[in-house]
Amino acid sequence: MLTIWGRKTSSNVQALLWCVGELDLEYQRHDLGHLFGGLDSAAFQALNPNRTIPVLRDGDGAPLWETGAILRYLATRYGNETFWPSDPIQRAQIDKWAEWAKLNIAMAFTVPIFWQVVRTPAKQRDDQAIRQAVIDLEIKLTIADTLLADSPYLAGDTFTLADIQFGHVLYRYYDIEIDRATLPHLSRYYDTLTERPAYKRHVMIGYEELRPPDA
């Protein structure tokens, strides 16, 4: 049994839950963070000195934190050869896109765009900065769009861990109120993700609780 600490509206927790769903693993989750609080408690600090979510414990094992490390652990222990190959060369081909997605997509979207559009009061938003952040993000998304013209998934012909790291932010990218570039292959890819049951359950969920009262 996996134990997960973190609220379901956290994008990093969503990536973890989506991975758990794809691997068909049993888990229990404790709400923590934002409206639920608890990140500053001594009990949680003992799990993660950084006081960030998600945190995962597999059975009686040591707690794991940092989303990328957690995902790689689950993929290594429970994933099949197409999702996370044992061959180091094949694995690296997937891992490079997973890292690319984390550093170039998730980090470029969550704080400079999603937080500004959704989590910032309207009077405090910098529309010019948001627009520039979208332009910068879409320069990187164009790389994926070009790749996906000839590939159904980010790292090749099959669904892999790279798609978890990349795809978990796309629901919010396509859902929030911003002007978006026309990226047809990315749009097709996103549509295929929305058909996956675990994506629907763990990623395609509302985030109204994250909005400030005067949004």
Encode 64-118 in three state secondary structure. Answer: EECHHHHHHHHHHHHCCCCCCCCCHHHHHHHHHHHHHHHHHHHHHHHHHHHHHHH
Interval 36-47 mean pLDDT: 95
pLDDT one-digit tens code per residue, 81-117: 999 999 999 999 999 999 999 999 999 999 999 999 9
Q: Is the pTM of this model over 0.75?
A: yes
Sketch out the chain's domains with CATH numbers.
2-78 (3.40.30.10), 88-201 (1.20.1050.10)
Interval 54-80 mean pLDDT: 97
215 has pLDDT over 80:
no
Distances (CA, A) of 127 to 22, 62, 133, 179: 37, 44, 10, 11
Confidence of residue 132 (pLDDT cuts 50, 70, 90): very high
Give the single-character DSSP code of 35: G
Spatial CB neighbours of 69, under 8 Å, sequence gap ≥ 6: none
Q: What per-residue confidence (pLDDT) applies to 119? A: 93
Whether the Cβ atoms of residue 83 and residue 159 lie closer than 8 Å to each other = yes
Interval 127-139 mean pLDDT: 97
pLDDT one-digit tens code per residue, 185-208: 999 999 999 999 999 999 999 999
Q: How far apart are the first and last CA of the chain?
A: 39
Q: What per-residue confidence (pLDDT) applies to 213? A: 81
Average per-residue pLDDT in the chain?
96
Question: CA-CA distance, 46 to 14, in Å (whole number)?
Answer: 23
